[in-house]
């Protein structure tokens, strides 16, 4: 049997990182098993679904590198007739019935039912009769006649009062629910006969030949109802695998309304994450590769190690802080990205650095031509401490532009430290200008000789030079920095930094 899985987002907003994780797990499972990965856009809520949201979901999946769907994208709204037909069939077969309760009363009785259900949940055991619907056993001819006469009705599944549904969730294990806890669920709404979620999902999953339903844990309880629909339709029930939730540090559900941009996938693209790094990070949100206990994994490794058995039951926590900009998102995500920036093949990083420079207006044609070697050398040098691609134009800006700001803390620490620097820096600049050839060794030699002549510590000049040349207090080895910044630019910056002393 070929594995067939689907990711089924509702296009009612941005792509939530939890949904992106669901998509990724489906994709990994399909690729691991040599199966098919399908996308179904669940756009049945016409009021809330937007094309823009669909576009942003597709963009997000493409950015993550998992948009190689194996079949045409399915739009659920286009199958409404099929969903209605399935419900009609169940009515014909006596497995569902038309409920002619007028709308107002229904709303009312639903509220009552809910209250009763809650009361039942509280006082375990005292059953509510979910089957007390006067239309449940209406003779078929009368039901037909009233429908034909134009009387509005909803369609409900006839859930047997006895028995239970159970299934073995591939993550959460055996799940059982007594039928007495499940109402005769509505399949089609009264009036326009629009299909409800549980019906649409099941009919589409059958139609698409889905073998494994991998989705968020918030759907675990729906599954019992869906299994009843599968059974009524006489279809094979797929394997279900529910994924743990992703929670905020205070254990609340992670939502855009409460937590803002940090939950939206495109935020990571826009803030300079590397797709492979974020994918790697997402893979570990609720899954681990068993004994290997590895964290940095290439796509090939993820594909070969992924398994549903490795999915955790406990919810994942997304650790970030609203008040500290350095912890704007989960610490592990930042760490993972920094590891990728630092260790990925340079030839893969360069186009990303270029994109970043281009969007900041700092790219120059010569970087792609006669200064390509310089660019490679510079990126190699500065990437060691970077966290995101934004650092190429943030803390790394001085390598690519003469217009950069000096970090006030660095100025205080390295330039204002010793008044003598006001005279030392221009003198060092003059010395630098005379060095020939200019490279790591000659720069070091010049600086150390100058320090000795002046009777000052080389460290004083090294630290001051770092802030003068890069605007920062920390960075790569200073003599490397001298080389890549170049002799003339170094001298000019040493001179102009004297004004801050
Ligand atoms: N559209 C549903 C959601 O976004 C999908 C549920 C499912 O995967 O069955 O939650």
What is the per-residue pLDDT across 64-116, written as a single tens digit (0 to 9) for each? 999 999 999 999 999 999 999 999 999 999 999 999 998 766 544 555 555 55
Q: Find the Cα–Cα–Cα–Cα dihedral 488, 489, 491, 495, rounded to 10°.
A: 140
Ligand 1 atom nearest to CA at 214:
8
For the beta carbon of residue 185, count every other beta carbon within 10 angstroms: 21
Answer for the pair 358, 392: CB distance below 8 angstroms, yes or no: no
- The verdict on the CB of residue 226 being under 6 Å from ligand 1 is no
Q: For the segment 318-362, what is each residue's pLDDT rounded down to a tens digit?
A: 999 988 988 999 999 999 999 999 999 999 999 999 999 999 999
Regarding the domain delimited by 345-402, which CATH topology (the fold level of the hierarchy) does it fall under?
A: Helicase, Ruva Protein; domain 3 (1.10.8)
Residue ranges of the chain that CATH labels 3.90.800.10: 76-197
- The verdict on the CB of residue 487 being under 6 Å from ligand 1 is no
- The verdict on the CB of residue 13 being under 6 Å from ligand 1 is no
- The verdict on the CB of residue 219 being under 6 Å from ligand 1 is yes
Give bridge partners of residue 99 from the DSSP assignment. Answer: 154
Report how far ligand 1's centroid is from the alpha carbon of 95 (Å). 25
H-helix or E-strand spanning residue 1: none
pLDDT of residue 255: 85
What is the spatial distance between Cα 150 and Cα 290, in angstroms, rounded to a whole number? 60
What's the pLDDT band for 127 if we cut at 50, 70, 90?
very low
For the beta carbon of residue 174, count every other beta carbon within 10 angstroms: 8
Residue ranges of the chain that CATH labels 3.40.50.620: 4-72+244-339
Strand pairing category for 96-99 and 246-247:
unpaired
Report how far ligand 1's centroid is from the alpha carbon of 218 (Å). 9
The whole-number average pLDDT for the span 457-483 is: 98
Q: For the segment 22-70, what is each residue's pLDDT rounded down to a tens digit?
A: 999 999 999 999 999 999 999 999 899 999 999 999 999 999 999 999 9
**168: which 2 tokens?**
């073995």
Class of CATH domain 76-197: alpha beta
What's the pLDDT band for 117 if we cut at 50, 70, 90?
low
Please give the mean pLDDT across all residues of the chain: 94
Is pTM beyond 0.95 here? no
Q: Can 256 be counted among the known catalytic residues? A: yes
What is the spatial distance between Cα 273 and Cα 53, in angstroms, rounded to a whole number? 21
Architecture of domain 4-72+244-339: 3-Layer(aba) Sandwich (3.40)
Residue ranges of the chain that CATH labels 1.10.8: 345-402
Question: Atom 5 of ligand 1 has which residue's CA nearest to it?
Answer: 8
What is the spatial distance between Cα 348 and Cα 376, in angstroms, rounded to a whole number? 11
**CATH number for the domain whose boundaries are 405-501:** 1.10.10.350
Please choose from 22, 42, 224 the residue to mutate so as to test ligand 1's pocket, defined by most ligand atoms within 8 A of CB. 42
Answer for the pair 246, 273: CB distance below 8 angstroms, yes or no: no
- The verdict on the CB of residue 8 being under 6 Å from ligand 1 is yes
Backbone φ and ψ of 344, nearest 5°: -70, 155
- The verdict on the CB of residue 40 being under 6 Å from ligand 1 is no
Q: For the segment 391-410, what is each residue's pLDDT rounded down to a tens digit?
A: 999 999 999 999 999 999 99
Please choose from 8, 44, 75, 245 the residue to mutate so as to test ligand 1's pocket, defined by most ligand atoms within 8 A of CB. 8
What is the spatial distance between Cα 208 and Cα 235, in angstroms, rounded to a whole number? 12
Per the residue annotation, which of 82, 256, 303, 332 is the catalytic one? 256
Backbone φ and ψ of 41, nearest 5°: -90, 115
């Amino acid at each position: 049997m070929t594995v067939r899985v689907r990711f089924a987002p509702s296009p009612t907003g941005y792509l939530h990182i939890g949904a992106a994780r669901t998509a990724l797990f489906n994709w990994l499972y399909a690729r691991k098993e040599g199966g098919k990965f399908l996308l179904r856009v669940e756009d049945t809520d016409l009021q809330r679904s937007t094309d823009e949201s669909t576009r942003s979901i597709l963009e997000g999946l493409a950015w993550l590198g998992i948009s190689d769907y194996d079949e045409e994208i399915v739009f659920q709204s286009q199958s409404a007739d099929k969903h209605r037909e399935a419900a009609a069939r169940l009515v014909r077969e006596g497995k569902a019935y038309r409920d002619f309760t007028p709308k107002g009363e229904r709303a009312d009785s639903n509220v009552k039912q809910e209250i009763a259900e809650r009361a039942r949940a509280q006082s375990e055991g005292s059953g509510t009769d979910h089957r007390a619907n006067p239309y449940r056993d209406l003779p078929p001819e009368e039901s037909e006649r009233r429908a034909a006469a134009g009387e509005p009705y909803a369609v409900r599944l006839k859930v047997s009062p006895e028995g239970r549904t159970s299934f073995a969730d591939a993550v959460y294990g055996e799940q059982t629910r007594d039928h007495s806890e499940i109402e005769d669920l509505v399949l089609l709404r009264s009036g326009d006969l629009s299909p409800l979620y549980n019906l649409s999902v099941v009919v589409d999953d059958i139609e698409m030949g889905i073998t494994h339903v991998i989705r968020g844990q918030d759907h675990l309880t729906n599954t019992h109802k869906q299994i009843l629909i599968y059974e009524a339709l006489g279809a094979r029930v797929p394997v279900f695998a529910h994924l743990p939730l992703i929670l905020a540090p205070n254990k609340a559900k992670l939502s855009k309304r409460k937590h803002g941009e940090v939950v939206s996938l495109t935020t990571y693209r826009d803030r300079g994450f590397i797709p492979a790094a974020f994918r790697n990070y997402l893979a570990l949100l609720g899954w681990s590769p068993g004994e290997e206990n590895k964290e940095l994994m290439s796509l090939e490794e993820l594909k070969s190690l992924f398994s549903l058995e490795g999915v955790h039951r406990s919810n994942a926590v997304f650790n970030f802080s609203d008040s500290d900009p350095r912890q704007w998102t989960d610490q592990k995500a930042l760490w993972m990205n920094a590891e990728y920036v630092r260790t990925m093949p340079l030839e893969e990083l360069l186009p990303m650095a270029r994109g970043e420079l281009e969007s900041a207006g700092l790219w120059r044609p010569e970087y792609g031509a006669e200064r390509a070697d310089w660019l490679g050398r510079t990126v190699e040098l500065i990437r060691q401490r970077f966290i995101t691609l934004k650092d190429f134009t943030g803390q790394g800006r001085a390598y690519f532009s003469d217009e950069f700001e000096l970090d006030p803390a660095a100025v205080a620490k390295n330039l204002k430290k010793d008044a003598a620097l006001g005279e030392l820096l221009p003198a060092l600049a003059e010395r630098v200008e005379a060095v020939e050839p200019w490279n790591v060794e000659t720069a070091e030699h010049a600086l150390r000789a100058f320090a000795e002549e002046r009777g000052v510590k080389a460290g004083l000049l090294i630290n001051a030079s770092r802030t003068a040349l890069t605007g920062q207090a920390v960075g790569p080895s200073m003599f490397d920095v001298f080389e890549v910044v170049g002799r003339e630019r170094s001298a000019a910056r040493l001179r102009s930094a004297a004004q801050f002393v």
